[in-house]
């Protein structure tokens, strides 16, 4: 087994690298530009721009991985809304390039997708629920899922997840838990929406779930997230309570006051039954993960 990871400089990519190192699994880490993860040996890193089809095919034919986990994506939801062509290139066309490269070398392809493929009117979504994307980002992920299912000639899997958090090295973006803990620790006044509900996902758990799909030779769609669906306000408040920070400065606000470019689904959250049964998935609660992180 040799696992090729795209987007290895991102949070999930780094956790997949750590998982492979800890379990003595052969891997190749790829990302655009230099290796920003000091825990990833340079000998295991290859620079790759997934939007250049020839480069993708050439590298895959050279390295011949048995499995590819495609985490690389444009994930800033509002930036995707404002730059739909760039979003389509990175999230849709590049996914097609990676799938086609996997076809050529008969490698399993795994796509990382999102709860945003749903409209958020129901919540607690299972793998069989119909997608109804509300934003350019969400539509790009639905399109990437369709490409995965329709173009793959080898085995494939799709892992959908929900706001991912954890510690990483030289990350280009923060995440809700790290940001909220820092702001609460400084006593910053915070305005937090209380009308969006998500199941925050510990990056270490997500990496374990992605690897379980591969190690157990599973195919199809899997929902892999945190075990609890909470409002964004509840997430921040529980972080404050866990560390005994003063939470009096947290103000509840409505999403409508934010003037965000992209529409967000009001309530997602996943039914994790399939992951529990097929993958032996064992996610941490928010408080359990905070104890591990800090």
Q: Does residue 84 belong to any structural domain of this protein?
A: yes
Q: Does residue 80 belong to any structural domain of this protein?
A: yes
Domain of residue 148: give its range.
2-166+201-226+269-283
* pLDDT above 90 for 228: yes
pLDDT class of 173 with cuts at 50, 70, 90 = confident
Q: Does residue 249 belong to any structural domain of this protein?
A: no
- What is the 3-state secondary structure of 112-170? EEEHHHCCCCCCCECCCCCCCCCCHHHHHHHHHHHHHHHHCCCCEEEEEECCEECCCCC
Please provide the DSSP assignment of 89-106 as one string: IIIIIHHHHHHHHHHHHT
pLDDT class of 24 with cuts at 50, 70, 90 = very high
**What does residue 253 show for φ and ψ, rounded to 5 degrees?**
-135, 165
Overall domain count for the chain: 1
Q: Does residue 264 belong to any structural domain of this protein?
A: no
The CATH number of the domain where 10 resides is what? Answer: 3.40.50.720
Q: Does residue 294 belong to any structural domain of this protein?
A: no
Q: Are 266 and 132 in contact (CB under 8 A)?
A: no
pLDDT digits (tens, 9 = 90+) for 32-41: 999 999 999 9
CA angle 61, 62, 67 (to 5 degrees): 65
pTM beyond 0.95: the answer is yes
């Amino acid at each position: 087994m040799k696992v090729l990871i795209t987007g290895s400089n991102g949070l999930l990519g780094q956790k997949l690298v750590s998982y492979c190192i800890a379990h003595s699994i052969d891997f190749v880490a790829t990302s655009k530009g230099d290796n920003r993860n000091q825990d990833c040996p340079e000998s295991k890193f290859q620079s790759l721009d997934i939007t250049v089809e020839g480069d993708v095919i050439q590298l895959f034919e050279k390295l011949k991985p048995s499995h590819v986990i495609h985490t690389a994506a444009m994930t800033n939801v509002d930036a995707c809304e404002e730059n739909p062509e760039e979003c389509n290139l990175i999230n849709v066309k590049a996914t097609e390039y990676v799938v086609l490269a996997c076809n050529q070398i008969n490698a399993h392809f795994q796509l990382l997708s999102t709860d945003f493929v749903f409209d958020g009117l129901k919540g607690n979504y299972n793998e069989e629920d119909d997608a109804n994307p509300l934003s350019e980002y969400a539509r790009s992920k639905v399109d990437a899922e369709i490409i995965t299912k329709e173009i793959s000639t080898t085995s494939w899997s799709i892992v959908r997840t929900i706001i991912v958090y954890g510690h990483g090295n030289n990350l280009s973006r923060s995440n809700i838990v790290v940001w909220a803990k820092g702001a609460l620790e400084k006593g910053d006044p915070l305005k937090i929406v209380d009308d969006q509900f998500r199941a925050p996902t510990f990056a270490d758990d997500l990496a374990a779930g992605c690897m379980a799909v591969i190690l157990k030779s599973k195919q199809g769609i899997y929902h892999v997230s945190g075990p609890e669906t909470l409002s964004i306000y509840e997430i921040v408040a529980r972080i404050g309570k866990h560390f005994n920070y003063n939470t009096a400065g947290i103000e509840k606000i409505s999403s409508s006051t934010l003037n965000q470019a992209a529409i967000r689904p009001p309530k997602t959250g996943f039914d994790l039954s399939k992951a529990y049964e097929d993958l032996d998935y064992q996610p941490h609660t928010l408080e359990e993960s905070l104890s591990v992180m800090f």
